[in-house]
Chains A and B, each alone.
Chain A
Amino acid sequence: MNVIQAIAIVVLKEMVRRKDFYVLFIITALITLLMGSINIFRDQSIAGYLKELALLLIWICSLVIAISTTARQLYAEKENRTIFPLLAKPVSRAQLLLGKFFGCWIACGLALFVFYLFLGIVAASREHTLDVGSYLVAMLLHWGALAVVVGMALLGSIVFAAPSSNGTICFVVALGILFLERHLNTVALQTGGWLGNVIYGVYFITPRLDWAFEVREFLIFHNPMPGIVIWTQALLFYGAYAAMLLLAAWLLFRRRALNT
């Protein structure tokens, strides 16, 4: 546990000391502030749309942070050759992967906390009400979904040859799941035949990131959040899915030759 924690802390330190992380962070915060505070035609109903846009922006930025930071972790270790003195110590490859996973995931969680806090404050200043519980559930589900994305990018960094291809593929897949997955069921039914079965297969295999994504609407329209049992099940699903991706990454990485 100590090893995993030590590796995760180094990942966090690297992110804190990298300038590009701050650029993305500040841009998102500024746009959220602008979205939340703008007053178009003195129309109060426009606030809902702006909140939706701000949440969409937070989702996209969190995906960029999760994928861009995770996708380069193992490549950077190999390219900078820091992996050799590290693995020459009593560190297993599973511990290395877990350390990287938790480091990136916790960094995403910290970024999400700041984004949601910022959005909550800006939204409360206009709506004169703040449902802390709803924001917390939305953030937790979002963070859970990012565990799957981080696991996917980590697996991709072992499968694909370059961080750019890994990042691009992960981003396209994640956006595809967010926007298209809920329609796959219908498409499968309409298509029918073997192609329909294939689409059904894809529908059941892909992680349901759209569950967390749809929770935005509860925040926008002030609907009551789903009960604790439902969102706990969703979080467990994300946890199990991320564990499965990490297992696949470990199976591929555990015997791979690393030449100095």
Chain B
Amino acid sequence: MIRIVEPILKTEDLRVEFRSKEVGGGVKVAVKGLNLAVHPGETFGFLGPNGAGKTTTMNVLLGFVNATSGNAFLFGQNVREPIARQRIGYLPELTYYYKFLSAEELLRFYARIFNIPKSEREKRIDEVLKLVELDHARKRQIKTYSKGMQQRAGLAQALINNPDLLILDEPTSGLDPIGRMKVREIIQRLKNEGKTVFFSSHELGEVETICDRVAILHQGELKREGRVSDIVREFNCDLEQAFLRIIGHAPVNGASSEPAKEFFAA
């Protein structure tokens, strides 16, 4: 008997339009009819160049922005309902938290928001701080943390509710190699624990190592979706080269792409 697994994260013909702030700028389409489905236990890479619509899609999924048309669901619930966010953890691209709080206080605050019972709260805070290796700095105010530590504090807050789905927006951006390695290790551990991870990144090497499937977005349109191994096999190169070809910016067999040719010709 085939067991049909319902996707944890789903978008149906998602379209997001913004009114341009320039005079007479008209309407800018950030996401055009996006259909995505992420299944339980998957590590899903959401890729695209800057301005492709990745963050906008994430903003819709988290309820920050309303879709112009189409729908988005988390655990089968419309993303507009706060309850849809009960089982997710989110790490924004740039980590900013209440800097006057210590990591311990920050986590206690978020634990209260998730209604984690007092008896479990402290245990969970200990677990998460140990996981992100911030146990030694738990009493220090976040403003005294290095960037890498702040990012790990961000991961800690995303994990406080033991989420089934993690949405990570460029989790390693701006970190030094050691910080990147630590964050990558944590994501790998979460993957091994069977968590579903949906993340965007420009570090295609790490995406290739960690992700099961990827979706490549360009100018708001879904250009490609599939297993990393299938894409790599199809293009007979690494994911970075395949990505560049898919979005039409790749040097093919030493020759420049069309936009590059035009640029150099000019």
Residues of A near any B CB (own CB < 8 A): 2-3, 5-6, 9-10, 13-14, 17-18, 80-82, 84-92, 255, 257-260
Contact = CB atoms under 8 A, between A and B. Distances in A.
A82 B90 contact: no
Contacts of A259: 56, 59, 64-65
Contact of B85 (A18, A81, A89, A255): A89
Nearest to B167: A88
A85 B197 CA distance: 16
B92 A91 contact: no
Contacts of A10: 98, 101, 109
B254 interface: no
B154 interface: yes
Given A84-B62, A88-B62, A91-B82, A260 B93 contact: yes
Interface in B113-146: 113-115
Interface residues of B, number: 38
Given A13-B100, A13-B101, A89 B93 contact: no
Contacts of B112: 2-3, 5-6
B101 A3 contact: no
Contacts of B161: 89
Given A6-B109, A92-B82, A85 B97 contact: yes
Interface SS of A by simple majority: loop
B257 interface: no
B181 to A, nearest CB: 23
Contacts of A5: 112
Contacts of B97: 82, 85
Given A89-B113, A90-B85, 19 more contacts: A3-B112, A13-B100, A13-B101, A81-B92, A82-B98, A84-B62, A85-B90, A85-B91, A85-B92, A88-B64, A88-B88, A89-B90, A90-B82, A90-B83, A90-B86, A259-B56, A259-B59, A260-B92, A260-B93
Residue among A3, A5, A18 having the largest count of chain B Cβ atoms under 10 Å: A3
12 contacts: A3-B112, A3-B113, A6-B113, A9-B109, A10-B98, A13-B105, A80-B99, A82-B96, A85-B97, A85-B110, A91-B113, A257-B66
Contact of A90 (B98, B99, B113): B113
Contacts of B86: 90
